[in-house]
Amino acid sequence: MTKRHRPLDRAFYARDPRLVAPDLLGAMLAHGPTMGRITETEAYLAVDDPAAHAYRGRTKRTEVLFGRPGHAYVYRTRQHHCLNVVVQEEGVPGCVLIRAVEPIAGVALMRCRRGDVPDSRLTDGPGKLCQALAIDIRHYGEDLCGAGKVAIFAGEREPSEILTTPRIGISRAVDWPLRYSLAS
């Protein structure tokens, strides 16, 4: 078994979201027979980030953000789910939102779950990829470093492929360049 078939370890996630987010690009997000290559992420900071859910403090929803790194923070917005990975050391609520992946495996199943959309729209959004990979609130708090159903495996990429742009879909701190994507 090669290194890239082992889940990313706790130490990988125990860093600043601005470091973890770009490093997740190219990694493989897997759930059951479905797998996608991460192509877009966003960093949400633990301190003084008005756009971060943890900014308002510790609540039932944000509880997992204050726990150990490497766990899934899944939340719901309107009819959709979004997947984040908890980063930084325990007690420091940084996280990284997975915004898009490239379908790699189980594509037929993804099409079935997503309905009648072109393949290019299968997983090109945070809510879409959760629907395609069947990730939802049941995965809240799951350990992505362990033997859970959802896992993230190391991938490969060239540093020059990374694009840094402002976050989108939020109403505060909109200009902060915390969105990372593969030029592809």
Of 32-40, 75-83, 150-158, 175-183, the window that binds DNA (rule: CB under 7 A) is 75-83
In the bound state with DNA, the residue whose beta carbon lies nearer, of 12 and 44, is 44
Query: Binder to DNA among 32, 59, 89, 119 (CB under 7 A)?
Result: 59
Is residue 84 part of the contact set for DNA (CB under 7 A)?
A: yes
Is residue 22 part of the contact set for DNA (CB under 7 A)?
A: no
Q: Which helix (H) or strand (E) holds 20?
A: helix 17-23
Q: In sequence order, which residues have a C-beta less than 8 Å from that of residue 5 and are 6 or more positions away?
A: 153
User: Given the structure tokens 């939102």, which residue do they identify?
Assistant: 97
Is residue 109 part of the contact set for DNA (CB under 7 A)?
A: no
Written as six digits, the tokens of 109 are 């199943």
- What character string, x for contact with DNA (CB under 7 A) and - otherwise, covers 122-161? ---xxxxx--------------------------------
Of 7-15, 29-37, 109-117, 151-159, the window that binds DNA (rule: CB under 7 A) is 109-117
Is residue 120 part of the contact set for DNA (CB under 7 A)?
A: no
Please list the alpha-helical segments (H only) found in 55-182: 107-114, 126-132
**Smallest distance from DNA to CB 1, Å:** 32
At 21, phi and psi to the nearest 5?
A: -55, -55
- The whole-angstrom separation of Cα 126 and Cα 84 is 9
- Of 15, 31, 9, 2, the C-alpha closest to 146 is 9
Measure the CA angle with vertex 17, ends 162 and 106; round to 5°: 65
In the bound state with DNA, the residue whose beta carbon lies nearer, of 115 and 159, is 115
Binding site for DNA (CB under 7 A): 42, 44, 51-54, 56-57, 59-62, 73, 76-80, 82, 84, 95, 97, 114-115, 117, 121, 125-129, 168-171
